[in-house]
Amino acid sequence: MKYTLHSAKYVLKNLLYLFPLAILPALFFSMSTDEEAIIQSVTAFFKGNIGDWQFFTLFRAISILSFGRWVGIIFGIAGIIVIVPCVSLMMALIEKHFRIGKRTFNGMWAKLNDNLLSTCGFAVLLFVIYEVWAMLLSALLFLTSQFGNAVIAYGGAGVIFLAMHALLMYVIGCIYLWLPCMQITGFRAFEALQYSYQLSSRVKWRLLFSQLFFYMAAEAALCVCAFFSNLLVFYIFTTLVFVFLIMIFVVRMQVVYFDRAQLERADLVKYYQR
């Protein structure tokens, strides 16, 4: 949890700089979220009707693209497209702050060109991993829900839910530092992947548990938001959830990278002097 807490502290202290870069993709992801599928799935679970689960409903609730409606697919794709330049700028801003202690957007557009391609590849890879995982999780939960024995169905669903989330966090953890390694070191993709794995190998389990806790807390928040009767309120709160997910995910990459690569952070000197 050390890295997550440090990242959360950094986000709060630099919210005015990070928030504008995260708000647009977060808004698109919020509007691609299928609140009806979430309500149906959660309601069936807590009312003891887990046998009513349907694969497609579960997949709609979990997937980024919300395949139940065209507008959800469009907003999901828009979010994936927009997040690339936004994260590229965020990575450049954080790196500059960590290296020289300055939070300015001067020179960020030049750095955007350097970061854009690597960020695009990383974002597409994460998207593919997540969607495959969402499909597998939906299928396994649906199959488990079909057991006639409620104890087996609920117990199996709980085990599968936790195990699949741990698997997702482990896979992401294996490539988590790939993006900063490519952008900061200038290594080629495969060399950066090898280096990133070396850096994260000793902390991957700590990353797994901290990211697992944070991600599941965000999922719980999204489920609560789905039950808001006012659609505008739902979009506002889910957008805020996605904003903090994006900011924490990106900041933590840089925090972990600078710590594991044993690079001095110039921004910390300013914080300690205040």
For every one of its 274 residues, what pLDDT tens digit does the chain have, with 9 covering 90 and above? 788 888 899 999 999 999 999 999 999 999 999 999 999 999 999 988 898 899 999 999 999 988 778 888 999 999 999 999 999 999 999 999 998 888 877 777 777 888 899 999 999 999 999 999 999 999 999 999 988 788 999 999 999 999 999 999 999 988 999 999 999 888 888 899 999 888 888 887 877 888 888 889 999 999 999 888 788 999 999 999 999 999 999 999 999 999 888 888 888 865 444 3
**Count of structural domains within the chain:** 1
List own/partner pairs for 212-216 with CB under 8 A and 24 or more apart. Answer: 212/165, 212/166, 212/169, 213/1, 213/4, 214/4, 214/248, 215/165, 215/169, 215/245, 216/165
Helices 204-226 and 35-46 sit at what angle, rounded to 10 degrees? 100
Instruction: State the residue range of the domain holding 154.
Output: 2-273
pLDDT for the residue numbered 66: 80
CA 216-12-272 angle, to 5 degrees, is: 125
Structure tokens at 114: 């350097």
* Residues comprising the chain, all counted: 274
Burial annotation 33-71 (CB, 10 A radius, 16+ → b, else e): bbbebbebbeebbeeeebeebeeebbbbbbbbbbbbeee
Question: Which residues contact residue 14 at a Cβ distance below 8 angstroms, ignoring those fewer than 6 apart?
Answer: 97, 103
**DSSP assignment of 106-141, as one string?**
TTHHHHHHHHHHHHHHHHHHHHHHHHHHHHHHHHHH
User: Count of CB atoms within 10 A of residue 145's CB?
Assistant: 22
Residue 196 near residue 172, CB atoms below 8 Å: no
Can you give the pTM of this predicted structure? 0.90
